[in-house]
């Protein structure tokens, strides 16, 4: 309920962008600790959407826009995947006319509208003292905007791609890598039975961590990533050699959804873009598969090699979190409360070199995080490379 204040104040939580395992454990950790420290906790529904669509009227039904959180509510969801607060890719600074809420259509009628004024008023209406957005660089970039507008923000990094700057680890990454390894290994039986190439398309728009780590762990022979445009002829040659060297006569390549052929560009499903300007990727795996089969006779005594093509997609982001994505969100949630209890804000909670810490929140918008190709990727062998593991972060090439 608006304006109900407890001993220390009100904390708001939201989850934006794609769902990942670990979000509900994070919400639970924040809520349990906050309630015990004397705060009220409000969960904003649908990411930034709830902050945009809320009606500032004590008589209005805002149950679809926010939820007052209790231990009972968060304990039920805390061990599960996804986000019970729901999510969206709403960008309050860029709301198209078609998405303007009914009660604000008289005020906002431009083709694209900035709802920051409304968001600030809505946070004030709810009495929110501290806001904890959980998301990737898109969701958190708007958190930076609100911090610059005076909101007390403590942010939490979440994305399977593990590409939020400033942190070695983002919630969801470990489960994604674990699932990728597991499903790749499951598909080996079919690839081996039919003596085929196995091509798996995985998430990774701009950063190739979700292809690199499983390959480094032995799940694939090769991987192609967004940071380096690859030569399909060279990939075919390598995979054919890998297949010939394998007693079961198959080989495996992981293909990041943002990977690009030499001389080409990213492959999109269609031209439609989300609120952050991203068109939906998809199809590079099919294109790689078709060209591998076409080129394979050149390296296989004139005989084509068939291909099993599989897009892992939402299978790696659905379901329950693994151990890391159960433990790290718990730690992140408590780290956020440690900061709030000290009156500190404008920070991003992080893991750096195996230790929990925090960074200025604007690191999200001031830098980018990609695979260091020169250091970690062999552009001739199309696979990870490493010289020494001494003093490397837990996930090796993932420092922000």
Report which of 309, 313, 300 is spatially closest to residue 197, judged by C-alpha positions. 309
Residue 396 backbone zone (phi > 0: left; psi -120 to 50: alpha; other: beta): left
Q: What is the per-residue pLDDT for 6?
A: 45
Q: Which residue has the tokens 């031209």?
A: 271
Q: What is the per-residue pLDDT for 278?
A: 59
Q: What is the per-residue pLDDT for 4?
A: 47
Token pair belonging to 254? 């992981």
Q: Quick check: 324 pLDDT over 80? A: yes
Q: Quick check: 169 pLDDT over 80? A: yes
Q: 146-150, 273-277, 358-362 — which is least confidently predicted?
A: 273-277
Q: What is the per-residue pLDDT for 152?
A: 98
Q: Where are the beta strands (DSSP E) in the chain?
A: 9-15, 39-44, 66-68, 95-96, 112-113, 130-135, 154-157, 197-202, 222-224, 251-256, 268-273, 279-281, 307-311, 347-352, 355-360, 377-378, 383-384
Q: What is the per-residue pLDDT for 98?
A: 93
Average pLDDT over residues 227-241: 97
Token pair belonging to 362? 């604007």
Determine the Cα–Cα distance for residues 20 and 158; give it in Å rounded to an integer: 8
- 91 band by pLDDT with thresholds 50, 70 and 90: very high
Token pair belonging to 174? 């470990």
pTM of structure: 0.93
- Going by their DSSP bridges, the two strands 197-202 and 251-256 should be labelled as parallel
The answer to whether the CB of 115 falls within 8 A of the CB of 93 is yes
Share of the chain above pLDDT 70, in %: 94
Residue 316 three-state SS: helix
3-state secondary structure 17-65: CCCCCCHHHHHHHHHHHHHHCCEEEEEECCCHHHHHHCCCCCCCCCCCC
- Going by their DSSP bridges, the two strands 279-281 and 268-273 should be labelled as antiparallel
Determine the Cα–Cα distance for residues 120 and 60; give it in Å rounded to an integer: 18
pLDDT digits (tens, 9 = 90+) for 262-284: 998 877 776 666 666 656 677 89
Average pLDDT over residues 226-253: 98
Q: Quick check: 2 pLDDT over 80? A: no
* CATH 3.40.50.460 fits domain 174-314+373-384: yes
Q: Give start-end residues of each CATH 3.40.50.450 domain in the chain.
A: 9-171+322-366
Q: What is the per-residue pLDDT for 279?
A: 63
Q: What is the per-residue pLDDT for 265?
A: 80
Mean model confidence pLDDT for the chain: 93
Token pair belonging to 85? 């607060």
Transcribe 238-304 into DSSP letters. Answer: HHHHHHHHSTT--EEEEEETT--BTT----EEEEEE-TTSPEEE--HHHHHHHHHHHHGGGGTTT--
Q: Quick check: 158 pLDDT over 80? A: yes
Instruction: Based on the residue annotation, tell me whether 114 is a catalytic residue of this protein.
Output: no
The CA-based angle 374-380-383, given to 5 degrees, is 75
Q: What is the per-residue pLDDT for 341?
A: 97
Determine the Cα–Cα distance for residues 25 and 46; give it in Å rounded to an integer: 17
Determine the Cα–Cα distance for residues 52 and 31; give it in Å rounded to an integer: 22
Q: Give start-end residues of each CATH 3.40.50.460 domain in the chain.
A: 174-314+373-384
Q: Quick check: 1 pLDDT over 70? A: no
Q: What is the per-residue pLDDT for 380?
A: 97
- As a CATH number, domain 9-171+322-366 is 3.40.50.450
Q: Quick check: 305 pLDDT over 60? A: yes
Share of the chain above pLDDT 90, in %: 86
- 149 band by pLDDT with thresholds 50, 70 and 90: very high
Catalytic residue among 19, 129, 137, 161: 161
Q: What is the per-residue pLDDT for 387?
A: 83
Q: 260-274, 283-297, 358-372, 383-397 — which is least confidently predicted?
A: 260-274
């Amino acid at each position: 309920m608006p304006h109900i204040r407890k001993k220390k104040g009100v904390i708001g939580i939201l989850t934006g962008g794609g769902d990942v395992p670990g979000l509900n454990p994070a919400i639970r950790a924040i809520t349990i600790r906050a309630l015990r420290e004397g705060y009220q906790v409000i969960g904003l529904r649908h990411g930034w959407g709830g902050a945009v669509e809320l009606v500032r009227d004590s008589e209005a039904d805002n149950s679809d826009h926010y939820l007052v959180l209790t231990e009972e509510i968060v304990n039920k969801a805390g061990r599960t995947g996804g986000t019970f607060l729901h999510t969206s890719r709403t960008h309050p600074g860029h709301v198209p006319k078609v998405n303007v809420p009914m009660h604000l259509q008289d005020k906002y009628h431009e083709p694209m509208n900035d709802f920051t004024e409304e968001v600030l008023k809505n946070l004030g209406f709810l009495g929110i003292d501290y806001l904890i957005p959980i998301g990737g660089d898109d969701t958190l970039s708007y958190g930076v905007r609100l911090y610059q507008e005076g909101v007390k923000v403590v942010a939490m990094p979440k994305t399977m791609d593990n590409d939020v700057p400033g942190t070695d680890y983002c919630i969801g990454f470990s489960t994604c890598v674990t699932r990728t390894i597991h499903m790749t290994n499951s598909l080996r039986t079919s690839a081996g039975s039919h003596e085929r190439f196995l091509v798996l398309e995985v998430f990774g728009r701009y950063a190739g961590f979700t292809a690199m780590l499983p390959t480094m762990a032995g799940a694939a022979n090769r991987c192609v990533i967004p940071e380096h445009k690859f030569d399909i002829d060279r990939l075919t040659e390598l995979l054919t050699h890998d297949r010939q060297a394998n007693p079961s006569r198959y080989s495996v390549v992981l293909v990041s959804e943002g990977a690009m052929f030499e001389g080409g560009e990213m492959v999109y499903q269609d031209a439609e873009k989300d609120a952050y300007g991203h068109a939906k990727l998809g199809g590079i795996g099919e294109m790689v598969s078709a060209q591998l089969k076409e080129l394979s006779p050149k390296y296989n005594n004139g005989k084509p090699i068939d291909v099993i093509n599989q897009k892992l997609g939402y299978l790696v982001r659905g379901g329950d979190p693994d151990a890391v994505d159960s433990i790290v969100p718990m730690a992140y949630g408590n780290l956020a409360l440690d900061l709030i209890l000290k009156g500190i804000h404008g920070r991003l909670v992080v893991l750096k070199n195996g230790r929990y810490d925090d960074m200025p929140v604007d690191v999200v918008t001031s830098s980018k995080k990609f695979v260091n190709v020169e250091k970690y990727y062999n552009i001739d062998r199309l696979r990870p490379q490493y010289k020494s593991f001494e003093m490397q972060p837990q996930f090796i090439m993932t420092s922000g």
